[in-house]
């Protein structure tokens, strides 16, 4: 009798349903980098990460890691997290999803100045604020250098205080700033903003989610989630006043980028 009971119990254990293990999406994000992210989860990338995790039926877990040089190498590629948002699709040291938004560098200026082009002759006589990383200017700086305007440039740190260049415009410490669109959306209230023209590979960027190369299943899952949540993501970006170029929701109807390792 005892052996029969043990046999039945063993059979029951074999056929009993096994509780599914809860999935976790670990996202590396800067703890103090508005308007993108912060520890209070107030940035638009915090909100978008939550939408993606919900679409994956996963628990969202942030790994706080300050954005600096080599941050991808030392965070997602080092295994600290599964994914990082805000990655240009042109990068080749991670695998990237389809873009979840496209934005441009913009002019930030006092109302009425009306500078919209790198070829505006007035720039020769103006102080131009740009963000810098170390000793390197952001991409529009290269366009200005080609136009002989290096002496007109004034650099402001991109790490830790990306909005400082906008504050400099507001305080008239510079005459015009050229900043990444989302930064302008977060800090330039009351100032005029306009996309930098001419538009090219140094002024307009597709922004995606980065994962370690070889994480094909995760990359495919993220692409499906981005497609599913495209309209909700766009609403978040617009609520945070991110200047958008084109409609990545329409792009989402096209085949995603290859999921093979880059």
Residues 116 and 94 in one domain: no
Q: Is 28 part of any domain?
A: yes
Map tokens 């080092």 to a residue.
78
Q: Is 14 part of any domain?
A: no
CATH code of residue 169: 3.40.190.10
pLDDT at 68: 78
Q: How many CB atoms lie within 10 A of CB 137?
A: 20
Residues 107 and 53 in one domain: no
Residues 60 and 117 in one domain: no
Residues 85 and 149 in one domain: no
pLDDT at 247: 84
pTM for the whole thing?
A: 0.86
Kindly tell me the sign of the dihedral angle through the C-alpha atoms of 102, 108, 112, 114. Answer: negative
Q: Is 218 part of any domain?
A: yes
Residues 111 and 185 in one domain: yes
By residue range, what is the domain housing residue 133?
A: 103-195
pLDDT at 161: 87
Map tokens 């906008």 to a residue.
166
Residues 134 and 185 in one domain: yes
Residues 35 and 97 in one domain: yes
Q: Is 200 part of any domain?
A: no
pLDDT at 258: 40
Residues 71 and 140 in one domain: no
Number of domains in the chain: 2
pLDDT at 136: 84
pLDDT at 159: 85
User: Mind listing the pLDDT tens digit of every residue in the chain (262 residues)?
Assistant: 545 544 544 444 454 454 557 899 999 999 999 999 999 999 999 999 999 999 999 999 999 998 877 789 989 999 999 999 999 999 999 999 999 999 999 999 999 999 999 999 999 999 999 999 877 889 999 999 999 999 999 999 888 888 999 999 999 999 999 999 999 999 999 999 999 999 999 999 999 999 999 999 999 999 999 999 999 999 999 999 999 998 877 664 454 444 333 2
Q: Is 8 part of any domain?
A: no
Residues 96 and 222 in one domain: yes
Residues 97 and 217 in one domain: yes
């Amino acid at each position: 009798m005892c052996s029969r009971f043990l046999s039945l119990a063993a059979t029951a254990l074999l056929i009993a349903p096994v509780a599914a293990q809860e999935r976790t999406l670990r996202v590396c994000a800067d703890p103090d980098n508005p308007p993108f992210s912060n520890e209070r989860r107030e940035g638009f990338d915090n909100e978008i990460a939550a939408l993606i995790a919900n679409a994956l039926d996963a628990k969202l877990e942030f790994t706080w890691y300050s954005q600096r040089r080599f941050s991808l190498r030392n965070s997602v590629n080092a295994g600290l997290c599964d994914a990082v948002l805000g990655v240009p699709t042109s990068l080749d040291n991670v695998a990237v999803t389809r873009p979840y938004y496209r934005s441009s560098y913009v002019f930030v200026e006092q109302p009425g100045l009306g500078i919209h082009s790198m070829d505006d002759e007035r720039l020769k006589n103006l102080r131009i604020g740009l963000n810098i990383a170390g000793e390197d200017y952001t991409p529009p700086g290269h366009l200005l250098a080609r136009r002989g305007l290096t002496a007109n440039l004034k650099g402001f740190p991109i790490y830790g205080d990306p909005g400082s260049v906008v504050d400099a415009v507001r305080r008239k410490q510079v005459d015009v700033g050229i900043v990444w669109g989302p930064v302008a959306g977060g800090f330039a209230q009351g100032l005029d903003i306009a996309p930098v023209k001419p538009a090219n590979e140094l002024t307009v960027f597709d922004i995606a989610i980065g994962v370690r190369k070889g994480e094909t299943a995760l990359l495919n899952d993220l692409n499906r989630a981005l497609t599913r949540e495209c309209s909700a993501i766009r609403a978040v970006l617009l609520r945070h006043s991110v200047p958008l170029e084109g409609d990545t929701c329409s792009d989402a109807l096209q085949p995603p980028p290859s999921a093979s390792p880059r």
